Amino acid sequence: MHYLNHAACGLMSDATRNTMHAYMCQEQQMGSYLAAKQVHKDIASVYQKIAQAIHARPEDIALTQGNSDGWGRIISSMDWRQGGRILVARNEWGGNLGVLMQLRAQYGVRIEEMPCNADGLVDIDALDRLLQTPTSLVVLTWFSSNSPLIQPAQTIGALCAQYRTPLLIDAAQAMGQWHIDVQALQCTALTAPGRKWLRGPRGTGFAYVHPDFLPSLHPLGADHFSRPWQTDSTWVHRTDAKKLELSESSIALRLGLSQAFDEWNAAGAAKVQEQIQERATWLRERLQTLPAVKVHIPQREHLSGIVTLECVSHSHEHIHTSLQRQGIEAALCPAAFTPWDMQARQLHSVLRFSPSYDTSWDSMAFCVDALQRALQP
Same structural domain for residues 248 and 338?
no
Same structural domain for residues 286 and 261?
no
Among 267, 294, 315, the domain boundary falls at 267
Q: What pLDDT does residue 284 have?
A: 97
Give every CB contact of residue 293 below 8 A, 6+ residues apart in sequence: 287, 309, 310, 311, 312, 371, 375
Cα(143)–Cα(162) distance, integer angstroms: 23
Same structural domain for residues 246 and 362?
no
Task: Report yes or no: 86 and 107 within 8 Å, Cβ to Cβ.
Answer: no
Number of domains in the chain: 2
Q: What pLDDT does residue 132 have?
A: 97
Q: What is the Rg, in whole angstroms, of the alpha carbon atoms belonging to the chain? A: 21
**Mean pLDDT, contiguous 10-residue spans, the chain (377 residues):** 97 98 97 95 97 98 97 96 94 97 95 96 98 98 97 98 98 97 98 98 98 93 67 72 88 98 96 97 96 91 95 94 97 97 96 97 97 91
Same structural domain for residues 48 and 183?
yes
Task: Report yes or no: 114 and 122 within 8 Å, Cβ to Cβ.
Answer: yes
Same structural domain for residues 263 and 140?
yes
Task: Report yes or no: 124 and 87 within 8 Å, Cβ to Cβ.
Answer: no
Same structural domain for residues 249 and 281?
no
Question: Among 263, 321, 300, which Cα is nearest to 144's?
Answer: 300
Task: Report yes or no: 136 and 104 within 8 Å, Cβ to Cβ.
Answer: no
CATH code assigned at 211: 3.40.640.10
Among 244, 267, 290, the domain boundary falls at 267
Q: What pLDDT does residue 223 have?
A: 64
Same structural domain for residues 244 and 330?
no
| Domain extent for 52 | 14-267
Same structural domain for residues 32 and 87?
yes
Same structural domain for residues 161 and 231?
yes
Same structural domain for residues 174 and 104?
yes
Same structural domain for residues 218 and 278?
no
Q: What pLDDT does residue 307 have?
A: 98
Same structural domain for residues 253 and 293?
no
